[in-house]
Chains A and B, each alone.
Chain A
Amino acid sequence: QKEVEQNSGPLSVPEGAIASLNCTYSDRGSQSFFWYRQYSGKSPELIMFIYSNGDKEDGRFTAQLNKASQYVSLLIRDSQPSDSATYLCAPGGGADGLTFGKGTHLIIQP
């Protein structure tokens, strides 16, 4: 059974600072990893996906993957109040549905 662990938070970060979100997963066979953002009462929206070990940057977001440690993280630079949401980590994809962690509730303090 695939398991995904995330610190549920809330994680409080001052505006303009770097928010760091972490995720560990149990399935060593997972090849792709997704970060979704979910605002309260809304469906998830894709932030980033990453396949290879190392860093992947997209604007203010950087995903980091370490397959040996079964660890994936998301950094948000220059955090904005609009980044306040729940961030969901999900290994998987392909033919399978996604197994989501419980999500980290991020609060950006103005």
Chain B
Amino acid sequence: GAVVSQHPSWVICKSGTSVKIECRSLDFQATTMFWYRQFPKQSLMLMATSNEGSKATYEQGVEKDKFLINHASLTLSTLTVTSAHPEDSSFYICSARGSGLNTDTQYFGPGTRLTVL
């Protein structure tokens, strides 16, 4: 149990375009989903927290108008990187925690590697 998927697993796009990343909890309902970003040789950094049906809460320094998060259902959250630039190239990882499981534990998706040319 506690499987989280992400799509796509990798994406290459041109500078200025927008990219949408999906995060799905496959076998549980995710009351909260988190989005992290990891640059090479660095640890994961929390970008935002989203609760189903509510606006996301962004960490300091993360532009909410650039990284749009939608958590419309208990099994799906999306992150849209708008007008992506090369400095947005990173490994984006979502995690989810939910009811019916140890509610403190976060289960991570496999990640999406974004490369902006």
- Report which A residues bind B (CB closer than 8 A): 32, 34, 36, 42-46, 49, 88, 93-103
> In the complex, are the beta carbons of B43 and A101 less than 8 A apart?
yes
Chain A residues contacting B97 (CB-CB under 8 Å) are: 93
B34 is an interface residue with CB less than 8 A from chain A = yes
Partner of A49, one of B34, B104, B108, B111: B104
> In the complex, are the beta carbons of B110 and A97 less than 8 A apart?
no
> In the complex, are the beta carbons of A32 and B93 less than 8 A apart?
no
> In the complex, are the beta carbons of B43 and A34 less than 8 A apart?
no
> In the complex, are the beta carbons of B43 and A45 less than 8 A apart?
no
User: How many residues does chain B have at the interface if contact means C-beta atoms less than 8 Å apart?
Assistant: 24
B105 is an interface residue with CB less than 8 A from chain A = yes
Q: Distance in Å from the Cβ of A90 to the closest Cβ of chain B?
A: 9
- Please report the C-alpha to C-alpha distance between residue A22 and residue B73 in the assembled complex, in whole angstroms: 38
B103 is an interface residue with CB less than 8 A from chain A = yes
Chain B residues contacting A88 (CB-CB under 8 Å) are: 43-44
- Please report the C-alpha to C-alpha distance between residue A44 and residue B38 in the assembled complex, in whole angstroms: 11
- Report which B residues bind A (CB closer than 8 A): 32, 34, 36, 42-46, 49, 59, 91, 93, 95, 97, 102-111
> In the complex, are the beta carbons of B104 and A94 less than 8 A apart?
yes
For A99, give the chain B residue with the smallest CB separation.
Answer: B46
Task: Compute the total of residue contacts between A and B using a CB distance below 8 Å.
Answer: 54
Chain B residues contacting A103 (CB-CB under 8 Å) are: 43
Chain A residues contacting B110 (CB-CB under 8 Å) are: 42-43
Using known A-B contacts A97-B46, A100-B43, A102-B43, determine if residue A45 contacts B108 with beta carbons closer than 8 Å. Answer: yes
- Please report the C-alpha to C-alpha distance between residue A68 and residue B103 in the assembled complex, in whole angstroms: 25
For A33, give the chain B residue with the smallest CB separation.
Answer: B104
- Please report the C-alpha to C-alpha distance between residue A103 and residue B42 in the assembled complex, in whole angstroms: 9
Chain A residues contacting B95 (CB-CB under 8 Å) are: 97-98
> In the complex, are the beta carbons of B43 and A97 less than 8 A apart?
no
Most buried by A among B34, B44, B93, B110: B44
> In the complex, are the beta carbons of A43 and B109 less than 8 A apart?
yes
